Structure 1
Amino acid sequence: MLRTPTSALTRAAIRTLSTSAVARQESAEAVGTVGNVVVKRPVGGFRILGFFFGFSFASALSIYYLQQENKIASGLLLASVEELQQGTGKVSSHLERLQTVEKELAALKNAGAVKDDVTKVRGEMKKVYDGLHLELLDLRAHVWGVEQDLQKVVKTGELGDF
């Protein structure tokens, strides 16, 4: 350690900085003072200019990085929005198809016959069929009677009650 001409203030500072008695004694016995050592520091303007240059470079680099991250995030968000839009379109088309099927089902329910209606119509048809069958039997009996009268006329050659 080089020792400079000491004043009372610097000696007190050295003593207070020493933590042990041995260190204090070594600092007191230091010899060979050469003089003041001058440390050259850069001029204040260059330090400030260097600071601003470094700050601006770091700021520009961080802004570029943030813009790239923002661009990627925006692209991902846009892709997810488009995917969501396609999914929403599919859901809405399915919903429309379900609504049309429900409308058709309601129309079929209204137009369809109920079991009671079918049995009622069946009974009416049986009555109509039985009535036609009776008329057919009456017609056959009448035709048979006409045939009998015709055969009688042909055999006897006389016209009866006609």
Structure 2
Amino acid sequence: MLRAGRASLVISRNISTSSVRRQEVVGTVGTPVRRPVGGFRGGILGFLFGFAAASSLSIYYLQQENKVATGLLLASVEELQQGTEQITSHLDRLQTVEKELAALKAASAQKEDVSKVRNEMKKVYDGLHLELLDLRAHVWGVEQDLQRFVKTEPVRI
């Protein structure tokens, strides 16, 4: 009796529960009781679906971030390349200017050379000045001789 009382309690408890539980209890004695696995499968499928959705969204987000980072890196590399080209052109100009400067230094006169040439020019100028004075003195002497000659001799026609 005690057992029958407990079974009636279990049955009454089962009657007040959901329809699935009622169907389980109503089954025959010799047949195995089937329990639905849909709840467990649904949980796993839901988890897997959620995991797949989250994974795909995170991969998409990471790809977009990677695309943006790659674009920024490419822009930085292009700026660096332009800067490098500018520096290279400036260095080429500097090398050209240095070569021209070295050529000008080799071709230009030094201070000592200029002073030597100046001294030589002074000597030449002084010598020309003395020759000019000698020439004037000679011309003056010729004029004096000519005037004496004209005064002393009568004119013949």
Instruction: Return the match for 2:91 from 77, 83, 95.
Output: 95
Q: Distance in 2 between matches of 1:120 and 1:144?
A: 36
Which amino acid in 2 is paired with 1:133? H
Q: Counterpart of 1:127?
A: 123
Instruction: Return the match for 2:70 from 66, 74, 79.
Output: 74
Q: Distance in 2 between matches of 1:87 and 1:132?
A: 63
Instruction: Tell me by how many angstroms 1:41 deviates.
Output: 6.0
In structure 2, list runs of 5 or more residues that go unmatched: 15-20, 22-34
Instruction: Return the match for 1:50 from 46, 54, 62.
Output: 46
Q: What RMSD, in angstroms, separates the aligned Cα atoms of the two structures?
A: 2.7
Q: Distance in 2 between matches of 1:54 and 1:34?
A: 41
What is the aligned residue count?
128
Q: Deviations over 1:20-42 (max 9, x none)?
A: xxxxxxxxxxx9x942875x764
- 2:109 is paired with a residue whose SS is coil
Q: Counterpart of 1:108?
A: 104
Q: Distance in 2 between matches of 1:118 and 1:52?
A: 96
Instruction: Return the match for 2:138 from 136, 142, 152.
Output: 142
Q: Tell me which moved more, 67-76 or 87-96.
A: 87-96
Q: Deviations over 1:73-100 (max 9, x none)?
A: 1111111111111221221222122112
Q: Which has the higher contact order (CA 8 A, sep 6+)?
A: 1
More helix by share: 2
Q: Counterpart of 1:65?
A: 61
- 1:113 is paired with a residue whose SS is coil
Q: Distance in 1 between matches of 2:61 and 2:148?
A: 125
In structure 1, list runs of 5 or more residues that go unmatched: 6-30
Q: Distance in 1 between matches of 2:76 and 2:36?
A: 57
Instruction: Tell me by how many angstroms 1:45 deviates.
Output: 4.1
Aligned identity (percent) is 71
Q: Distance in 2 between matches of 1:99 and 1:107?
A: 12
If the length of structure 1 is used for normalisation, what is the TM-score?
0.68
Q: Map of 1:6-21 to 2, 5 A cutoff?
A: none
Which amino acid in 2 is paired with 1:130? D
Q: Which consecutive segments of 4 or more residues in structure 1 shift more than 6 A?
A: none
If the length of structure 2 is used for normalisation, what is the TM-score?
0.70
